[in-house]
Structure 1
Amino acid sequence: MAEPDATDALLQELLWTYGPCGQEDEVRAVCARELQPVVDDMWTDDAGNLVGYIAAGGPPKSTDHRHRATAGRSAATRVMAHMDELSMLVKRIEPDGSLHLTQLGTMYPGNFGLGPVAVLGEHETFTAVLTLGSEHTTKESPRIWQTKPDKGDQALDWHHVYVFTGRTDDELAAAGVHPGTRVCVERSKRTLVEVGDYVGCYFLDDRAAVTALLKAARVLRERGRRPADDVYVVFTTNEEIGGVGGSYASASLPGTLTLALEVGPTEREYGTTVGGGPIVGYSDALCVYDKDVADRLMEIADDHGFEPQAAVLGAFMSDASHSKANGVTPRAGLLCLPTLSTHGYEVMPRRSIDAVAEIVVDFVVQPDETRSGATR
């Protein structure tokens, strides 16, 4: 890959950092390091979300902005990107030290492949191997036989695979491994590759959007620009298992609009392509996004010459749509980086992070009555 710039370097650091659902501490630490110098205030809320506050009129004189505003009295905007990644959960430990897993988020063994995994024990993180077993087997090994295309022809699933640890029960206990321990795709499989004008890696969902949101906050500070209304940039937890952190932040922070930054599927059924511009969601599986918000995002992207793609998405959810479906935000928007093979080995244009950051900056800076709806 070409010599990385600051954005590439940050994205790579985030990709190498483990952040399974409910255990996003290391990702949060990287985000906090980058966010603290460019916001007016920063804190971690009770859901584990990292929140940065950017005041419309300059640095605040109190911490009142940390508390929920009276309904209908704040035009603040919450912009979210999630810190968690698809991962695995230890279901049981066998006497030989092997681990049986289940998914944490919508994750399938075939999407991420057999090979090295990181076991995040309470006292030690170590490398193990996700394996199916030998292909040189017959019906006497039914678990393997079932997955052969010319035999059982079943899709590879969690009950077929296991993790070889090379450790005894006692050694696993000493490392702090037990049912509920998180297991992640190992760092050696999480290095960005360059594919022409594109980059590829596992877990661009949602580390690329996190990078874009951090960049947007930095650009605002470097250009000396203030948002038209207060802005909360929120790096959320547990998005992959129900938008938990985002819903909590929408319910507890001032404001009536939640804008989610995400990876966006590029498929014929949506009329989107990975070679196109940022994707603006008009609906997904959980909600219809506010048309005026989506239209505004499209307009800004058009003004920049980014060639945005409008999309009506199925089998897709975001922090914003979870928040709207849960009744904790009245207004929601979705802005996506166009991404090939979402929830797999993801590929996106190198330019997409910068493009999404620029759209976010203009969206929060440029006064526009539609962004605040009836609350103005």
Structure 2
Amino acid sequence: MRSHVNQRHERVLEIVRRRGSLRVTELAGELGVSAVTVRRDVEALAEQGRLTRLHGSVSWPERPRPVGHGPEPTASGTEAPAPPASAAVVLGMVVPSMEHYFAELVKGAQDAVAARGGRLVLGIAHWRSEEDTAQIGRMLDGGVDGLLLQPSWERGVPSTAQEEQLLALGVPAVLVDRRVPLGGRLAGLDSVRSDHVLGGAAAVHHLAGLGHDRIALLAQDNPTSPQVREGYEAAVAARGLSAPPIVSVDPEDPAALEAAARLLYESVADDGVTAAIVHNDQTAIGVVQRLREWGLSLPADVSLVAYEDEMAALADVPLTAVAPPRSAVGEAAVEMMFARLGAGPGASAPSRHVSLVPRLTVRASCAPPR
């Protein structure tokens, strides 16, 4: 087995010596093996000083020349090629969807990579964890230098197998808009996210500041919702407010959306609720339409804050909304990745977990209670 590895190493050296510089993916193609295998070979040879490893590429090491001497001749007497410039960094990014929220985040990352002369490769998992795995494998085989990952974790929490996968990537990775679970094993990964806990709390504090003391929460069941709920519950407790039961809603199911809107209507009519926080904009607009059909108006009968702020301003009554800093999260993830790559292989710079604070924009849907 070791003899086979040694033979492959010699073949790697032969190809790089002949070509001067090439990408890891090109080298893998010539050898007929995976990019992951070649990356391991290159790292081993670079540690021995026999190759120079760049971001996503490899080159023949430049030998120092005495001052005043020209380029070093090759065995044939011709001049050896000048060392190539560093190849552009290629980052892979895996997201669960390309709906509005994710499109803005990806655009922020794409612009940040392009500004640094790199390239972003996108994979969409369609909210399927097995597709996360497939997209990550495809990108590793393609020789990406690093991965920006927004995994399709159920309720925002990874399984043991998903943790194992991220711990064995072999390239730098940044978790994007995912909270590293407390007590989990992923604390060593860099991460950047919107602080949805603070976002949920900000909505409560805004409504409480207007005088509302019984505030409902309607929330989708997705990886963001647990953090919005956490912020809501913490702010309600901090303000000493009473809260009705939290309502889960599926905006893709008309019957579920109508049932959630009906619960809010009954809470306003019979249970003293004067305000609501609705996650997300799509759900909020659907709920408002049904409340209006049943005779309630905003903000005279009920105040409402939407969470996400993608289309909240387009409602009949423009909705006050909390906006996670989607584009800034994408930009910060890229900055974090380039800092990690710039530290070099084997660098022991401490991992960073960065949280960006959402912004609340006041519109016409909120007023003091009657």
When normalised by structure 2's length, the TM-score is 0.27
Larger helix share, 1 or 2:
2
User: Which structure has the larger Rg over C-alpha atoms?
Assistant: 2
Instruction: Give the structure, 1 or 2, with the largest relative contact order (CA under 8 Å, sep 6 or more).
Output: 1
Larger strand share, 1 or 2:
1
